[in-house]
Structure 1
């Protein structure tokens, strides 16, 4: 049985004194972090927990969250990270659905019906002799239960094994050319697989280091970059939008950064250009699903980057485009994006029918619409469920959003379908402008008329201060649709 290479207790002696993880209060070497993991693993074992048990970790980003997750793996258990901002009903749904036996939390209120270890009860000091007699972990053991955002129904537990995670961490390290000198500044929430794989496991697998920063703000981001000197970070489009919207007199030293990663949601070419030129930062856009253990395509930091695409398939994975019957389509054709490789999830927890509909003959059906070019670079067209059918005509909101993004004053845009008594559905746009700019709906409609056909024109363009987000930073289009369940609007003439 091969050793799992992101387990810090498997790191060689040459890494013992190297920086491993830190947050605002703690900085640990590989040996120090591994000792903490062993101490907490021993504590969990003493509570009767072991192989196959599920441990819920409901903590904000901090070293103790990683300690708890690794300690669960140390005893062969499964970790399910829970969003610490969840309401009690939301948290209890995940904890119960995952069949968790214990909750690690900093919430002063106990979780009804579940044993709890509070953050100040975590044992970090007990000396474990010779690894504490912990059994070796099987790469095919379940490692994580990551819950989907629930935008299409009740959240589902995605089962990811250590094989899934090791493949993804190794792929990320290879694609980004990571070495032990790399240092990731972690700013995304650790209840999401992006942060776990890209920002934690990928640097640890090569002996690099991770700095966990507090709640994101542009000023804090630049302070942390200057102080910590990271070599890369991973973020969502919202964060890049906030950074790009900083006033011109904000001049900070970002020279330590080799690149930034953008994922979780599409980003416009215009915003990428603005963020890159503003701070001299190379940004690579990627694409993936929780069901595919984070990432399946990504533009390379070193190599051909095609802005507007999410790059080629990552090493070891295959991306294909299929029609509604599942027949594979040729280069340039538009259809559903399918993914295969060792990154595809084991399945949805206790949902065999949904698993069978999502993974067919080894292909993960993503629900995304896209096309591949002759070089294998993937362009996302839209989500299948986001498509608007206006009087029998298919309209992809992303096409309208991309056209809006070409206006110099537009920072972000979201387009959804609104009910209409004549056409069934019509497009409605919500836009956020850059600070200190003024733009009117009529001006934006004129801008769109030069770029898209009349049938695609939004019937209304709402200029808003911000767009709603789900817990992982994606624009909450279901929430926008819910708000639009009002009497029909008149179409643009």
Structure 2
């Protein structure tokens, strides 16, 4: 019977001395990774926990993360991996909602997991380098048998509406995602995945770590993202596949030519997810680094797997590729009718990577599915070739005077300006038009770019009703762990730079 940890045991048996994980100055072979995971599994089972028990794992992207993660899976646990910056209140909510029996925390993440566990009367183990602190009398010899339909992880959604919900991803979901991406990216045991992504997020956890270890490839981890250090790590670790998000690619482009000239000599592809990648960022990165970016689209609820730009065919800038093998997609209008190519509608998905449902929320699960299809809440369109273009989130749609404005379209135009480093377009209340288009912009230091110049740039490239009529400047925009701008966290009134408001156009 299958187990998420099977890949570690199989690779350790066939190539025990091959490097599996590097990061934070440490290196683990597959046999060392397996032995550490076996020790963790033994300790968990010795504590009296039964397969199917929920265990919270709080850790950054360090080599010990996969040691503990796969150890918990080997013991048959259901694993929760929250953001390492979660507060005590947030951690306590997750543990109580999931009914956790144990918390396991990296020694450097702060007191939140320990305090939350204590408040709930749940034990909390802390561990350090080498997963010290987790001891056992007898290591587990082989992963516990599980069923493909068994829940393996609970990844809680951001909770933009209501409380966060735990997406139940199964053993089968995680295995299917890794197998699909192994084929899509032509991954072999000779590859090295490099990433500064958080492993507690679906992109780093499933797409990068899961795919790499299933394939016998190594993962080169960076605990805290630093653009210049990442370039050096690409070179020193011989990275062949870079997994990143748009904000990371943007940061790499801000480095001097000298800083990037030697980086990534072996890098054959880069992958982008977590948020839409502005076309100008893609073009600039590929020109500077000589490495193609394959953009994909997926959600936590689909194990990060939906569409992807194939390595074997010409990519279309601005498109996220075609549905991956085994993934079915349809796009429906507001009446539930499938749209024709080029028309925008809500994307629905089904296939082996779609979640079981939301943990103990039958009503939310029922609302999320439509005739067996998962409703993504994303607006998209497909062209005659089958390539998908993500237009925006349904909830982010701006309706200005009866016209639909998709923030992503406006953002992509603004990103083309050489002095604009980051931008978020949101709708703000307006007595005259219902909603007005507002752009929050981060500009290059010393550029002198002002609001009027930004409007002129947009007016040359967009229909009048799409042009931002309110513009404010920011030093930085709030982003989540996946690198996606957190629009729900933006308080437009908090940006004190002058805005301009125009009624014409």
- Other-structure match for 2:310: 300
- Secondary structure of 2:411's match? helix
8 Å contact kept, 1:391–1:425: yes
Which of 115, 118, 134 is the matching residue for 2:126?
118
Aligned to 1:282: 292
Q: How many angstroms does 1:4 deviate by?
A: 5.5
Can you list the C-alpha shifts for 1:95-144, whole angstroms capped at 9, x where unaligned?
21121111101256423232011104746776857x44753222221111
Whether 2:38 is the aligned partner of 1:49: answer no
What does residue 180 of structure 1 align with? 189
Tell me, yes or no, if structure 1 residue 410 matches structure 2 residue 410: no
What TM-score do the two structures reach when normalised by structure 2?
A: 0.92
Offset from partner CA, 1:170-215 (integer Å, 9 cap, x none)? 0010000000101111311111011011211101111111122221
Q: Is the 8 A contact 2:169 2:303 kept in 1?
A: yes
The residue number in structure 1 matching 2:70 is 70
1:407, distance to aligned residue in structure 2 (A): 2.1
Distance in 2 (CA, whole Å) between partners of 1:242 and 1:380 is 23
Moved more, 403-412 or 157-166: 403-412
Residue from 486, 489, 500 that aligns with 1:476? 486
What residue number does 2:320 align with? 310
Provide the secondary structure at the position in 1 that maps to 2:258: coil
Alpha-carbon distance, 1:163 to partner: 0.2
Alignment match, 2:390 = 380
CA contact (8 A) 1:5 1:166 kept: no
Counterpart in 1 of 2:282? Answer: 272
Between the aligned partners of 1:99 and 1:125, the Cα distance in structure 2 is 24
SS at match of 1:11: helix
Alpha-carbon shift at residue 304 of structure 1 (Å): 1.6
Q: Tell me, yes or no, if structure 1 residue 193 matches structure 2 residue 212.
A: no
Matched-pair contact (CA < 8 Å) for 2:167–2:357:
yes
Distance 1:426 1:146 in 2: 35
- CA 1:201–1:127: 2 relative to 1, 3 Å: farther
SS of the equivalent of 1:249 reads helix
TM-score, normalization: structure 1? 0.94
Distance (Å, rounded) in 2 between the aligned partners of 1:23 and 1:358: 38
Measure, in 1, the Cα distance between the counterparts of 2:317 and 2:444: 21
Contact 1:5 1:11 in 2 (8 A): no
CA distance in 1, matches of 2:372, 2:315: 29
User: CA 1:127/1:176 → structure 2, altered by over 3 Å: closer, same or farther?
Assistant: farther
Whether contact under 8 Å (2:167, 2:355) holds in the other structure is yes
Structure 2 spans left out of the alignment, 5+ residues: none
CA contact (8 A) 1:323 1:329 kept: yes
Aligned length: 491
CA deviations over 1:383-420 (Å, ceiling 9, x no partner): 11011112222211122112212323223221101111
Counterpart secondary structure, 2:322 = coil
What is the aligned partner in structure 2 of residue 213 from structure 1?
Answer: 222
State how far apart, in whole Å, the 2-side matches of 1:206 and 1:485 are.
Answer: 47
